Amino acid sequence: MGILEVKNVSKSFGGLKALRDVNLSVAEHSVHAIIGPNGAGKSTLLNVLVGKLVPDTGSVMFDGQSLLGRKPYEINQMGISRVFQTPEIFGDLTVIENVMIPCFAKRDGVFRMHAFETVENEAEIVAQAEAALADVGMLERRDMHAAALSRGDKRRLELAMCLVQEPRLLLLDEPTAGMARADTNRTIELLRQIHAKRDITMVIIEHDMHVVFSLAQRITVLAQGAPLVEDTPENIKGHPKVREAYLGEAA
Amino acid sequence: MLGLNRQDTALLIIVAVLTLLAPFILNPFPEGSGLATLNAGYPDLMQRFVIYGIFAIGFNILFGLTGYLSFGHAAFLGVGSYAAVWMFKLIGMQVIPAVLFSMAISAILALGIGYVSLRRSGIYFSILTLAFAQMCYNLAYSVLGNPNSRFNLTNGETGLQLTLDDPRILGVQRTPDGGIPVPNFFGIEMRDSYDLHLGDWVFTFSGGYYFAAAVMLIAFYIAIRIFRSPFGLMLRGVKSNQTRLYYTGINARPYTLAAFVISGTYAGLAGGLLACMDPLAGAERMQWTASGEVVLMTILGGAGTLIGPVLGAGFIKYFENIFSKINDNVLHGWFAFLPDGLEDFMVTLVHPFVGKGWHLTLGILFMLVVIFLPGGLVEGGQRILGLFRRRKAPPPGPDPEHHPKPTPHVAE
Ligand SMILES: Nc1ncnc2c1ncn2[C@@H]1O[C@H](COP(=O)(O)OP(=O)(O)OP(=O)(O)O)[C@@H](O)[C@H]1O
Ligand SMILES: [Mg+2]
């Protein structure tokens, strides 16, 4: 039994079948990659996991509890954080404030009326947020407006915002897209360290095969809304169906 | 000081000093001079400055922080006034219980209206709040104000007034000389005032103004604390990216509702204070134009800034009360030094923008601010300060426009 169990999930948009009978089992403390061509339904699957979309059929269990019918914030509070394909950050806030919000969410839950404390004086929260920024190498951008960051930096910021929550399941939708090579390698290294240190499971969607093969222990190939194969990276590399459906196209 | 950082303490002190000295600052022109029309240092107007300042500070907690644009905040202002007048009628002329009751009633109303309206965002939210406010207006104007019904809460078109027959169980029904007693703060009557004559100048110190000003300073202080708090940070998160907030384990709804109730309470407080200064309440205070006015004040001053709404409120109230008073006689007085033909020409030129035309001036001003200073008057002030700073600071290099970033560590 994996920590995340997706069973027979289907989702249609009008006539378009974005997900057809998807089954996925993610083992606890593994890094599980999902790859597939554009429009395969990868992001749609994540949307189902985080409560953004309700599937037409099927079930989604996280650690023995159903995720269906729960609000996104409830699912996050259960220990699931997500990095989006287009970065979702607080553009009007500074970088450090962006990271402090998840720190507060972790400490205070879905709602707590702290109207008379002062953010600057929350030493513990500030320290946590700064440590997370240092981890992703963005501490020197601490007081910048988040909207002014480059695309790659926005991704790193969003990653810091997720990591600081110490999620049990981290969902990464193309976490290195738009990053320079050096930053991509740095992110790979960071994810590896986090994975070694913490009790964390990662599901990673990536088009960059270098990232996938550096991190993943299992890979699911999704094509036209249905899982094609699921196997170890070594076997996936040589799989004829995969080469045809996906890797051939990417090469 | 008081849990504020240095910058905010300085701001609070500046605002406090300006408020205390307002009777001097607002009366720069000697009595009887041609420009005395521009003086704003009389109690009635000064009271309005600070009371509408409170209204706008509260509105800014909702609109400036969360971005939810309410078009119905006048409902809370009006309800606050009715609540205070009822306290004067039933309990007594002490202002503290009256404003506390205003705040409580408007908070309850805000909870109800906010709970329903916040189910939608953007323009739908605005329309819902507008609809609720119009409902409140109509309730006050007719349904709850029928003088012949036993359930006459608002006294309809006439407005709610004090009478000699009011019970005032903890106060006096009538003064020794048989009049209606006046709202007071432990004996200081709201309409007490003292005139200080200095040369040609007259400065008026009003009990009501100083009471309202003290309340405004407290309200301003609380707003600063909210802005700097984790709660305030969440509210700014709502404005910036609600989606991210939801996927970060935070339910935005109770945060926005809390902000809505707080700002409704501020509005109720302002309404209560208006009634303290002049103990009557009418439905026109709840009309949609009054709701629109506080939106203008906040945007004009600078939404989301601390001091902006206060500036905006002062600006608009100044225009409404001073520019509207400038008539052709005053204009002729101003331009009397010009040759006759030119004098008439100038008066004709300026005429449409003053007196009844003050709305035109305000409209043009508002347009200019929104187009050139999206951050409102505060942004204007910052730009001016910036100019001075740049001029004073030693030029950073051969090219003053070019500010190189400090060089990063060599090892990078
Ligand atoms: N909310 C929606 N409404 C309608 N169609 C949608 C919606 N979301 C996704 N789709 C469609 O579903 C299909 C799968 O989209 P999805 O975003 O999951 O693909 P993906 O595998 O993430 O692709 P990419 O690699 O480009 O990100 C696409 O054809 C897309 O257009
Ligand atoms: Mg996608």
Residue B247 and residue A73: Cβ atoms within 8 Å? yes
- Position B150 pLDDT exceeds 60: yes
In a domain, A224, yes or no: yes
Per residue in B259-308, pLDDT tens? Answer: 999 999 999 999 999 999 999 999 999 999 999 999 999 999 999 999 99
- Residue A13 pLDDT exceeds 90: yes
A129 and A56 co-located in one domain: no
Whether A88 is covered by a domain: the verdict is no
Average pLDDT over residues A173-200: 92
Residues A152, A200: one domain?
A: no
Asked whether residue A178 carries a pLDDT value surpassing 90, the answer given is no
Put simply, the answer to whether B249 touches A109 (Cβ < 8 Å) is: yes
Compare CB distances from B240 to A90, A108, A111 and report the shortest one's residue. Answer: A90
In the predicted model, what is the mean pLDDT of chain A? 93
Q: Is A125 found in the same domain as A73?
A: no
Q: Provide, for chain A, the percentages of residues in helix, strand and coil under a 3-state DSSP scheme, each rounded to the nearest 5.
A: 40, 25, 35
Given an 8 Å threshold on Cβ–Cβ distance, is B228 in contact with A104? no
- Lookup result for tokens 């009978």: A21
Higher pLDDT, A228 or B104: B104
- For chain B, helix, strand, coil in percent to 5 are 65, 5, 30
Q: Taking CA atoms, what residue in B is nearest to A104?
A: B230
Q: How many domains does chain A have?
A: 2
Q: Which domain holds residue B187?
A: 6-287
Domain annotation covers residue A86: no
Q: Are residues A3 and A70 in the same domain?
A: yes
Write down which residue in A120, A142, A165 finishes a domain. A165
Domain membership of residue A11 as a residue range: 1-79+167-251
Q: End-to-end alpha-carbon separation of chain A, Å?
A: 35
Burial class (CB in 10 A: 0-12, 13-18, 19+), B403: exposed
CATH code of the domain containing B74: 1.10.3470
Compute, in angstroms, the gap from residue A75 CA to the centroid of ligand 1.
Answer: 22
What pTM was computed for the model?
0.92
- Chain B partners of A91 at a C-beta cutoff of 8 Å? 240-241
Asked whether residue A85 is assigned to any structural domain, the reply reads no
Banded model confidence at residue B215, pLDDT cuts 50, 70, 90: very high
Selected for mutation to probe chain B from A47, A90, A186 (highest B CB count within 10 Å) is: A90
Are A131 and A186 contained in the same domain? no
**Is B345 part of a structural domain of the chain?**
no
- B192 residue type, one letter: D
- CATH number assigned to the domain comprising residue A221: 3.40.50.300
Pair (A106, A148) in one structural domain: yes
Verify that A157 and A237 share a domain, yes or no: no
Q: What are A42-81's pLDDT values in tens digits?
A: 999 999 999 999 999 999 999 999 999 999 999 999 999 9
Extended strands (E) in B290-399: none
Same domain, A111 and A141: yes
Residue B186 has pLDDT above 80, yes or no: yes
Task: Establish if B326 belongs to a structural domain.
Answer: no
Summary mean pLDDT of chain B = 91
Give the number of domains in chain B.
1
Mutation target to probe the A interface, by most A beta carbons within 10 A, among B6, B227, B250, B261 is B250
Residue A114 exposure: Cα atoms within 13 Å on the Cβ side: 21
* Residues of chain A neighbouring B236 (CB-CB closer than 8 A): 90, 92-93, 97
Residue identified by tokens 């404390």 is A117
For helices B74-90 and B122-141, what crossing angle results, to 10°?
30
pLDDT digits (tens, 9 = 90+) for B373-401: 999 999 999 999 999 887 765 544 444 34
pLDDT (0 to 100) of residue B408 = 39
Whether the pLDDT of residue B313 is over 60: the answer is: yes
Name the β-bridge partners of A171.
Answer: A82, A203
Indicate if A158 and A174 belong to the same structural domain: no
Window 377-396 of B: residues touching A by CB (8 A cutoff) are none
Residue of B nearest to A87 (CA): B244
- Same-domain status, A7 and A52: yes
Report the Cα B4 to chain-centroid distance in Å. Answer: 23
Alpha-carbon distance of B152 to B143, in angstroms, equals 9
The ipTM of this complex is 0.94
Residue that is last in its domain, among A165, A194, A211? A165
Binning pLDDT at 50, 70 and 90, where does residue B404 land? very low
Closest by Cβ to B233, choosing from A76, A110, A119: A119
Residue B373 main-chain phi, psi, to 5 deg: -130, 75
Q: Whose CA is nearest to atom 26 of ligand 1?
A: A38
Q: Is residue A84 part of a domain?
A: no
Rounded-to-integer distance, Cα A186 and Cα A191, Å: 9
- The residue whose C-alpha atom lies closest to atom 3 belonging to ligand 1 is A13
How many whole angstroms from A72 Cα to the centroid of ligand 2? 18
Task: Please check whether residue A87 lies inside any domain of the structure.
Answer: no
Give the strand pairing for B201-206 and B188-189. Answer: unpaired
Please check whether residues A38 and A118 belong to one and the same domain. Answer: no
Give pLDDT tens digits for A115-149: 999 999 999 999 999 999 999 999 999 999 999 99
- The ligand minimizing its distance to the Cα of A14 is 1
Tell me which of A165, A190, A211 is where a domain ends.
Answer: A165
Instruction: Specify if A36 maps to a domain.
Output: yes
Nearest to residue A209, comparing CAs of A182, A244, A233? A233
The answer on A179 and A59 residing in a single domain is: yes
